[in-house]
Homo-oligomer: A and B are copies of this chain.
Amino acid sequence: MTSSDKTFGRLLLMPNALDLGAAEVPLTDVIAGGVIAQASRLLHWVVEDSRSARAFLNRVNKIAPLAQPLQQTLIEELPRAPKGPQRVIPGKPAKSAPAPAKPEVARASAWELLLNPALEGHDIGLLSEAGLPGVADPGALLVAAAHDLGIPVIALSGPSSITLAIAASGLNGQSFVFHGYLQSEANPRRARLRELEATSKRLQQTQVFIETPYRNAVMLETALEVLQPTTRLAISCGLTLAEGWSLCRTAAQWKAAKIELPDRVPAVFSLLG
């Protein structure tokens, strides 16, 4: 949009498969050929985790040979964010929330170093461990810095567990909220689930959240404890995986069905009262 764009490289937001590198799914089943070809040509990467990025590029290489050997490809890691659920305290910015736009700060920051190849005219790929970077995943701060510097940002088509889960839920996809992780302590989590149920009922707005896989079963248990019997709860487990499934049932039906959630497969929960 500005004259400087012509000389800058772009920041390409590269989708990753949702199997967390288990290579259970052929990459060509979840990512478009044209996107895989773009990945094969990139010489500069900023990634959530370099090991999983190398695994991704090895998968790419089998489909579209890399433009240069993996050993020579520049792979930088994003600054580490605290792992696991991040609690969002209303009134306080979430840990992961981008800082307010302060171009003069961003220019002096670590972000500019990571974006340097783009300033010198090379495209950079931004890759997370699964799905789209910046959506329920790190990367937003780098994207924000790119905007501040006038680097073109291009999001490439690929799987995102949030939208796949909403589509598969059959709940309202015209109005929805993604909350990330809920509270992990029992009582605040119960209160929060009741609050989400009330909001969903009032606004007919689907409420979406995730949980670390080993707590999937506890999350379902708590939800069935507090939700009204007619509230609909959709769960997508292992989206895009061969054994993956999506179900939407009322709380009463879930209770009766006694379905156990796997403890190693990511799940997305959506509810509508």
Contacts and interface: CB of A to CB of B under 8 A. Distances in A.
Interface of A: 1, 13, 26, 28-35, 86, 88, 90-94, 96-98, 100-101, 132-137, 139-147, 152-160, 162-180, 202-205, 230, 232, 234, 236, 239-240, 244-250, 253, 257, 259, 272
> Which of A143, A156, A173 has the most chain B CB atoms inside 10 A of its CB?
A173
Contacts of A29: 32-35, 157
Contacts of A135: 163, 166-167, 173
Nearest to A162: B163
B172 A97 contact: yes
Nearest to A150: B247
Given A143-B169, A174-B180, 10 more contacts: A26-B34, A30-B157, A91-B202, A98-B272, A134-B168, A134-B170, A135-B167, A136-B174, A139-B173, A153-B248
B94 A204 contact: yes
Given A28-B34, A163-B162, A248-B147, A174 B239 contact: no
B31 A245 contact: no
